A = this chain, B = another copy of it.
């Protein structure tokens, strides 16, 4: 069974300067609070170890997700494209833009697509100023992506903004209704608004849900799994949020969940390939 990890930040290029790698204690505290040990590849910042861990976990490819934020740093799209070029068999590139200026954002999206990225990651709640996912200033950008068939990953859970209202379900619910042909992946899965985001997914068929690190042992876990095994089996995405979760342990745990084989195949790879148009 092929496995694609939908959210990875390998120890390469610009990622090494971001807090994910430059503040390992903070990162490892998250890892341990989820019940995992830090990945050796994360501690050693070693791509060779990471590739070994991918093999051990059975993860054939990882979606490398860029970032362009005020509070969590920037990973340039050039770096994302270069990583995919260096490891074309292992990494799928997803770019990112700062959405606070619509003209610059649209130009940067088009440039990133020209570089080969398969989707765009937006994290409006950690930009300056922070924006809700249904902020009117984002609508020209969403319209451009919908018209040009560019899938969008929205950070809509966890520390998605200055406070918990930035992950509240009404914002993504409204933009999904207003852009029904735009495939939207909610990273961090809308956590902790678990039942609410599952309702949104039940109602809006253009939403894909990927709780990634906000799943193992956390409240809401059972509801996510129930939905993944049921009505959401074609729109749930496997992701580790590496380096926050180590691939072998996370994957082993995920494969033990009570999810039927057909749904599991969808979740591990087919949904990812379909939403990215691969």
Q: Does B223 lie within 8 Å of A227, measured CB to CB?
A: no
User: Could you tell me the distance between the alpha carbons of A222 and B226 in the complex, rounded to whole angstroms?
Assistant: 11
User: Could you tell me the distance between the alpha carbons of A191 and B195 in the complex, rounded to whole angstroms?
Assistant: 8
User: Could you tell me the distance between the alpha carbons of A162 and B223 in the complex, rounded to whole angstroms?
Assistant: 24
Q: Does A219 lie within 8 Å of B200, measured CB to CB?
A: no
Q: Does A230 lie within 8 Å of B202, measured CB to CB?
A: no
Residues of B within 8 A of A76 (CB): none
- How many copies of this chain are found per oligomer? 3
> Using a Cβ–Cβ cut-off of 8 Å, how many residues does chain A contribute to the interface with B?
37
Q: Does A169 lie within 8 Å of B164, measured CB to CB?
A: yes
Residue of B nearest to A227 (CB): B219
Q: Does A194 lie within 8 Å of B174, measured CB to CB?
A: no
Does chain B have a CB within 8 A of A11?
A: no
Residues of B within 8 A of A163 (CB): 170, 173-174, 177
Q: Does A164 lie within 8 Å of B173, measured CB to CB?
A: yes
Does chain B have a CB within 8 A of A71?
A: no
What mask results when residues 4 to 25 of chain A are scored 1 for a CB within 8 Å of chain B, else 0?
A: 0000000000000000000000
With known contacts A163-B177, A164-B173, A35–B230 Cβ distance under 8 A: yes
Least CB distance from A114 to B in Å reads: 35
22 pairs of residues in contact across A and B, judged by CB atoms under 8 Å: A33-B202, A34-B231, A35-B230, A158-B203, A159-B203, A163-B170, A163-B177, A164-B200, A165-B170, A168-B170, A192-B195, A192-B199, A194-B219, A195-B219, A198-B218, A198-B219, A218-B227, A218-B231, A219-B224, A219-B226, A219-B227, A222-B222
Give the 6 A-B CB pairs with smallest separation, nearest first: A192-B199, A219-B223, A192-B195, A33-B231, A164-B173, A195-B219
